[in-house]
A and B are shown apart, each in its own frame.
Chain A
Amino acid sequence: MSFARKLTFGIVALLTSLAIGTAHADFEPTKPIDFVIMAGKGGGADKMARLMQSIVEKEGLASRPLVPVNKSGGSGAEALVALNSATDPDHTIMVTLNSFFTTPLRQPGLGIDIMTFAPIGRMAEDTFVLWVHKNEGVNSFEEFLAEAKARGSGWVMGGTGSAQEDQIITDFLNDTFDLEIKYIPYKGGGAVAKDLAGEQIDSSVNNPSEALGFYESGDVIPLVAFTSERLPMFPDVPTLAEAGEDFAYYMQRAVVGAPGMTDEALAYYTNLFAEVYNSEEWQKYKSDKSLLGEYTSGDDLADYWQTQRDRHETILKASGAIN
């Protein structure tokens, strides 16, 4: 580790500790930390979690290892239940997606209140972009709207899961632009990307990290970004806001602690993931994969959750997924 980076870490650690207060620094993990991943092996969340784990390992940031455990069942229900009933909350943390908001809303029977989870840190917000195959003959968002309208339910959108991020965006497009796009749910973003490249579906709203390989080879083209500002990676791709619709949608990539985590442990993990966030590897990954968002923790993160939860409740109610 170079001196400059050591210095950065030191400053970040200092600032974080000042921000959180003085009642910490007492906690040190006494055994390996359960690092629950709310998705299956190989998906976007899994890749990110393993990157975080490897950074912690490589830089020697924690005295005990993070042990990744994939709990992908029931759109994250399995992972949420596991954290809610964790016997040792100080050694149980989880990497989350937006199913952190939607799954408890859709399955109240699980008895999950996300506001009881410990807000460790939001590492990034993933972005969504509308993609079509180059052979589709559609080169702009306007042409997409015209073509999708002409084909009605013959236009097929592939996406990950049902009543989750990709379908929320598709529903929004259908409602706002009076389209009848047919949504086909897949198990993961990789399968969607492959079927778009093979022209089995007409469009996708993959995260850039999922579509990048086929974008670079020229097989798929981005039409519009569902962000508030243009993405640095695709400077020529307009945002939906430019098309006159005030709609931006992101996927949270955050680390949360099990309910019941002590304040000391929360401070420790907040600090740990701040160091991960500031590492060269994470920053490189973030810009390479077109991720946005600053490191957010503590009360700010809890406020963010509350806003996101309410927003998803409104969206899901409007689409009839919940009542």
Chain B
Amino acid sequence: MEVVVLLLDGVWAALQPTNLGLAFLGVVIGLFVGAMPGLGSVNGVAILLPFTFVIQEITGTISSPMIFLAAIYYGAMYGGAISSITLGIPGASTAVATTFDGRPMALGGHAEKALVIAAIASFAGGTISNIIFTGAAPLLASVALKFGNPEIFALMLLAFATFIGLGGDDVPKTIISICFGLVMSAVGFDIISGAPRLLLFDSTEWFSRGIQFLVLAIGVYGIGEMLWTINSTRDSFKMTEANITLARVWQALKSFPEAWRGTSIGSFLGFFVGILPAAGATPGSLMAYGVTKMVSKNQEEFGKGRPDGVAAPEAANNSASTGAMLPMMTLGIPGSPTTAVLLAGMVIWGLQPGPLLFSEQPEFVWPLIGSFYISNVIAVVVNLACIPLFLKVLRMPFSILAPLIFVLSVVGTYAAYQNIYDVWLMLIFGIGAFLLRILDYPLAPAVLAIVLGPIAEPKLRQSLLLSDGSWMIFLERPISGPITIAAIILLLLPLYGFIRKRVKARS
């Protein structure tokens, strides 16, 4: 009961005009940076961090600047879906999985439906995770601590398994695609030995940071998609135009229950992945997509515009972003790149995030948690209200849209890391993705691998260092054991199906 009182106080504080105004401003900025390809919540928060000192000076509290930054974070999670759906370029790394089904829906003339589902699923994900956060933050912090190196690796293995174990796609091609992503993720400097790996032409300018995930994602979904559309339609490109009427938006709202499964899986799974340090919203949304597809009865419809396929990643990325706040506030460890910057902000404001934050700084913690709820409401309202505006993008003729996508892809890639070599790499990936697409290779697994590879590899090697090279470490430990076994079963599922078919064919 005490928690409810504290929360109500917090919500009340967040509803004060200054805080409400800051949350609104933050959400709008977040929507914008989220929708801009290449700029994500991390850029928005990092760029505006110095501005928060002005807010702190004016308001005299430390919760107000944090409310502002958290609102940007949420806004960006909503915003990422907008360009994923209308342009087919992931607006932020967290919204890559939204393109898988959101883009086909838009091409099929249901853009307004995709946008509405994305907004409502985001809201549901954000709110469900806020409730879990409010009720169980300290408890969940101790769960996060139980996840050591072998446990996190087991979880990554499970994520890969969900992508391989699904029917629909060609299994050998999926595995090749995953391997391609893993090789890309290995480029750079070896974390364990520090030795340079796979540096083509010994070029440190090109490869010293490794290949950034966003470079591959924008190449594949921005340039690759554009080339594919040009190729498949030649000059007779015609997108089914989405009519902007309130009735259609209302219709879309009413059809939301179709996406309940994706929304609920995304909300819970996203939160859980979010609280694990080192993971964050991007792996969370990709895993939610994989799991939703796996449990669905209509797997073959995924990738062609399935409402669940839009709802799962969107619910998950919002949920994971609240989840990632948990280790940041209770353990002082960021769960995602954005929370790392938020953490830097808290330190600069003189706070010591860690196990004592909740008991020592309630006047900071509770208004912030209250603002999570408020920001979500603001974000969903602003987002729904702006849908007609977003749809205008789709009315552009493709002869204008294609150059726009090209320019946004180039600018977005450069903006993300200010490195011109990334732009060349992105273009090479775009052309490569187009060729692979002609050969009918699924590309989502490669994207998943380049996100999860850099998390999984160090965890695998740290675990094996711990166990002196024994693989049993993954099976022996109480938490990693069951997860590893589940992953192995999933990996073997296609093989089982294959054998059963052969036996049937014989008899």
Contacts and interface: CB of A to CB of B under 8 A. Distances in A.
Interface of A: 40-43, 46-47, 50-51, 53-54, 57-58, 65, 68-69, 71-75, 77-78, 81, 85, 106-107, 109-110, 153, 156, 161-164, 182, 184-187, 190-191, 193-195, 197-198, 200, 212-214, 216-217, 219, 281, 284, 288
B205 A74 contact: no
Given A51-B347, A216-B352, A109 B148 contact: no
16 contacts: A43-B340, A47-B344, A51-B347, A54-B53, A57-B53, A58-B54, A74-B209, A77-B208, A81-B208, A191-B278, A198-B144, A198-B146, A212-B332, A212-B352, A216-B355, A284-B350
B185 to A, nearest CB: 14
Nearest to A50: B344
B196 A81 contact: no
Interface string B338-377: 0111011101101011111000000000000000000000
A101 to B, nearest CB: 14
B499 interface: no
Contact of A73 (B54, B209, B356): B209
Interface majority SS (helix, strand, loop, mixed), chain A: helix
A194 B148 CA distance: 9
Contacts of B208: 73-74, 77-78, 81
A194 B50 contact: no
A30 B128 CA distance: 49
Contacts of A71: 209
Query: 10 closest pairs, A vs B, by CB?
Result: A213-B354, A42-B340, A73-B209, A198-B145, A200-B148, A217-B355, A213-B332, A73-B208, A74-B189, A78-B208
A184 B147 CA distance: 16
Contacts of B345: 50
A78 B146 CA distance: 34
B494 interface: no
A182 B194 contact: no
Given A191-B333, A193-B333, A213-B331, A106 B343 contact: no
B357 to A, nearest CB: 8
A57 B50 contact: yes
Contacts of A190: 277, 332-334
B192 interface: yes
B259 to A, nearest CB: 33
Nearest to A156: B466
A81 B204 contact: yes
Interface in B276-324: 277-278
Given A198-B145, A217-B354, A51 B341 contact: no
A99 to B, nearest CB: 10
Given A78-B208, A194-B333, A186 B462 contact: yes
Nearest to A77: B208
B482 interface: no
B456 to A, nearest CB: 13
B347 A194 contact: no
Nearest to A197: B145
B134 interface: no
A54 B348 contact: yes
Interface of B: 42, 46, 49-50, 53-54, 57, 144-149, 188-189, 191-194, 196, 202, 204-205, 208-210, 277-278, 327, 331-334, 337, 339-341, 343-345, 347-348, 350, 352-356, 418, 458, 462, 465-466, 468
Nearest to A57: B50
Given A185-B191, A213-B352, A213-B354, A46 B340 contact: yes
Contacts of B278: 187, 191
Given A74-B208, A78-B204, 7 more contacts: A41-B341, A42-B341, A50-B49, A73-B208, A156-B466, A164-B194, A212-B352
A241 to B, nearest CB: 29
Contacts of B57: 58
Contacts of A198: 144-148
A155 B49 CA distance: 41
B189 A73 contact: yes
B466 A41 contact: no
A5 to B, nearest CB: 15
A75 B49 contact: no
A73 B344 contact: no
Contacts of B50: 53-54, 57-58, 65
A200 B144 CA distance: 12
A214 B210 CA distance: 32
Contacts of A81: 204-205, 208
Contacts of A186: 458, 462
A254 B499 CA distance: 63
Contacts of B418: 69
Given A54-B53, A72-B209, A77-B189, A162 B194 contact: yes
A42 to B, nearest CB: 2
A54 B49 contact: yes
Given A71-B209, A194-B277, A162 B193 contact: yes
B145 A75 contact: no
A182 B188 contact: no
A195 B194 contact: no
Contacts of B209: 71-74, 78
A162 B192 contact: yes
Contacts of B191: 161-162, 185, 187
Best-buried of B145, B148, B210, B345 by chain A (most CB within 10 Å): B145
B55 to A, nearest CB: 12
A163 B354 contact: no
A31 B492 CA distance: 59
Nearest to A198: B145
Contacts of B462: 184-186
Given A162-B192, A193-B332, A109 B145 contact: no
A264 B149 CA distance: 50
Contacts of B196: 74, 107
Contact of A74 (B145, B188, B465): B188
A71 B462 CA distance: 24
A317 B8 CA distance: 61
A41 B337 contact: yes
Contacts of A40: 340
Best-buried of A163, A184, A219, A281 by chain B (most CB within 10 Å): A184
Nearest to A217: B355
A164 to B, nearest CB: 8
Nearest to A190: B333
Contacts of B189: 73-75, 77
B333 A47 contact: no
B93 to A, nearest CB: 14
Contacts of A58: 50, 53-54, 57
A195 B354 contact: no
A214 B189 CA distance: 30
A50 B277 contact: no
Contacts of A281: 348
Contact of B331 (A53, A68, A197): A197
Contacts of B347: 47, 51
Given A73-B210, A213-B356, A46 B331 contact: no
A191 B149 CA distance: 10
Contacts of A216: 352, 354-356
Given A162-B192, A216-B356, A42 B204 contact: no
